[in-house]
């Protein structure tokens, strides 16, 4: 399907049957039964399958992270930030003297790569740490000091209005005083965000985000050789909050992580993250896969789900038996040859 012929949702998704777009319904049934929860499947720009209530807006946990990094890329495109390699201290000057100046070197790229060393003893770029304190710093400085706007309004004006989100959405999933930056969104709206990436930042004939930024988001992988943080605490800014978890949450990441997307790459041991998924697969994942947005460009396929029983993302590298891998295997098996 060429770009000129590409289908996009309007006020609501245009629907097709799985058969119409070359998918096997029985495999999609098996997928929904395997994972539970609620979700939807998009192929060739059409809504082809749902289970549960795909209109229900709910917190997506860490699957929000690629959304935050996409808004960072909008800030660069709009000239609010010169480059993703600029120091965050240009907007949060207290970082310049924190830990005897160690944190002055934290860049936006470091925050988007989980290599900032914030709140830890390592220097920026030195080690990997899936760090929800650093993510809260990222969100708060980006919204409060770069955009100087409410986070949900930033999301609305750059993505929500443009992509036509149908259901309620907010960066205050638990209310304004409980971990702002946590996104509540429905699977069918989150799937629009996936389609936006799948179509290279284009939406209905308009190049909304320049292709170079989409390429950056999906091709800036943390090198597999990057060591994991030792987890030794260092000072943070006074009153620093977390977006949800601690500073060294997940053991995997290097070889798989790019601007908060999980790519189906190889780690230092040569293990693919999802052994049965096409190599071009990328995922926004929260709570170990319980909440997720899957994008598989080579199959023109998007699957989005929430509140599932999947929680073994971190055990997936090289392991065909995790629920994550079983699920993506069913996605691949659903695609009929030549469709």
Cβ atoms of 181 and 68 within 8 Å: the answer is: yes
Kindly report the number of other CB atoms within 10 A of residue 275's CB atom. 17
pLDDT band at 1 (very low <50, low <70, confident <90, very high): very low
Helix axes 132-141, 65-77, angle to 10 degrees: 30
**What is the SS3 assignment for 84?**
coil
User: Average per-residue pLDDT in the chain?
Assistant: 96
Q: What predicted TM-score, i.e. pTM, was given to this entire model?
A: 0.96
pLDDT for 2 equals: 39
* pLDDT tops 90 at residue 173: no
* pLDDT tops 70 at residue 241: yes
pLDDT for 157 equals: 98
Q: What is the CA radius of gyration of the chain?
A: 19
pLDDT band at 177 (very low <50, low <70, confident <90, very high): confident
Distance between CA 226 and CA 218 in Å, rounded?
Answer: 18
Strands 206-207 and 257-258: unpaired
Q: What percent of the chain is predicted at pLDDT more than 90?
A: 94
Domains annotated for the chain, with CATH where assigned, are 3-334 (3.40.710.10)
* pLDDT tops 70 at residue 136: yes
| Residue whose C-alpha is closest to residue 254's, from 243, 242, 270 | 270
Residues in the chain: 339
Task: Find where tokens 């396929």 sit.
Answer: 301
pLDDT for 176 equals: 85
Distance between CA 88 and CA 96 in Å, rounded?
Answer: 9
Helices (H), the chain: 25-35, 65-77, 108-113, 132-141, 151-155, 161-163, 187-198, 211-218, 323-334
* pLDDT tops 80 at residue 198: yes
Q: What percent of the chain is predicted at pLDDT more than 70?
A: 98
* pLDDT tops 70 at residue 4: no
Kindly report the number of other CB atoms within 10 A of residue 175's CB atom. 10
**What is the SS3 assignment for 34?**
helix
Cβ atoms of 23 and 334 within 8 Å: the answer is: yes
Q: Using one digit for the tens of pLDDT, what is the confidence trace for 64-123?
A: 999 999 999 999 999 999 999 999 999 999 999 999 999 999 999 999 999 999 999 999
Q: Using one digit for the tens of pLDDT, what is the confidence trace for 260-318?
A: 999 999 999 999 999 999 999 999 999 999 999 999 999 999 999 999 999 999 999 99
pLDDT band at 339 (very low <50, low <70, confident <90, very high): low
Distance between CA 124 and CA 117 in Å, rounded?
Answer: 5
Distance between CA 24 and CA 191 in Å, rounded?
Answer: 20
- Which structure tokens are listed for 121? 């003893």
- Which structure tokens are listed for 241? 């909050």
Once rounded to an integer, what is the mean pLDDT over residues 161-174? 96
Q: List, in order, residues 6 or more apart from 267 with CB less than 8 Å away.
A: 224, 252, 254, 255, 256, 273, 317
pLDDT band at 338 (very low <50, low <70, confident <90, very high): low
φ, ψ at 225 (rounded to 5°): -80, -5
Strands 46-51 and 206-207: unpaired
Within 13 A of 34's CA, how many CA atoms are on the CB side?
A: 20
């Amino acid at each position: 399907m060429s770009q000129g012929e590409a289908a996009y949702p309007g006020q609501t998704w245009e629907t097709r049957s799985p058969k119409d777009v070359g998918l096997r319904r029985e495999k999609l049934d098996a997928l929904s039964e395997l994972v539970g929860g609620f979700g939807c499947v998009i192929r060739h720009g059409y809504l082809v399958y749902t289970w549960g209530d795909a209109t229900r807006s709910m917190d997506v946990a860490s699957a929000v992270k690629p959304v935050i990094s996409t808004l960072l890329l909008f800030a660069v495109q709009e000239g609010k930030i010169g480059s993703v390699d600029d120091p965050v201290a240009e907007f949060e000057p207290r970082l310049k003297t924190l830990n005897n100046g160690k944190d002055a070197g934290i860049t936006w790229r470091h925050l988007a790569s989980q290599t900032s060393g914030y709140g830890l003893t390592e220097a920026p770029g030195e080690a990997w740490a899936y760090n929800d304190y650093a993510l809260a710093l990222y969100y708060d400085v980006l919204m409060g000091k770069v955009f100087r706007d409410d986070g949900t309004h930033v999301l609305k004006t750059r993505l929500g209005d443009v992509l036509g989100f149908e259901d309620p959405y907010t960066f205050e999933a638990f209310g304004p005083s409980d971990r702002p930056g946590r996104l509540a969104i429905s699977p069918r709206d989150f799937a629009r965000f996936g389609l936006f990436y799948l179509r290279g930042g284009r939406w209905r004939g308009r190049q909304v985000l320049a292709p170079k930024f989409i390429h950056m988001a999906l091709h800036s992988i943390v090198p597999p050789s990057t060591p994991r943080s030792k987890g030794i605490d260092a000072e943070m800014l006074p009153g620093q909050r977390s977006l949800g978890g601690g500073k060294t949450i997940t053991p995997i990441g290097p070889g798989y992580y790019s601007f908060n997307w999980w790519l189906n790459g190889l780690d230092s041991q040569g293990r693919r993250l999802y052994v049965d998924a096409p190599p071009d697969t990328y995922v926004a994942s929260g709570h170990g896969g319980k909440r997720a947005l899957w994008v598989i460009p080579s199959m023109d396929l998007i699957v989005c789900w929430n509140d599932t029983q999947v929680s073994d993302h971190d055990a997936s590298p090289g392991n065909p038996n995790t629920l994550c891998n079983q699920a993506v295997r069913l996605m691949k098996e659903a695609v009929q040859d030549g469709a």
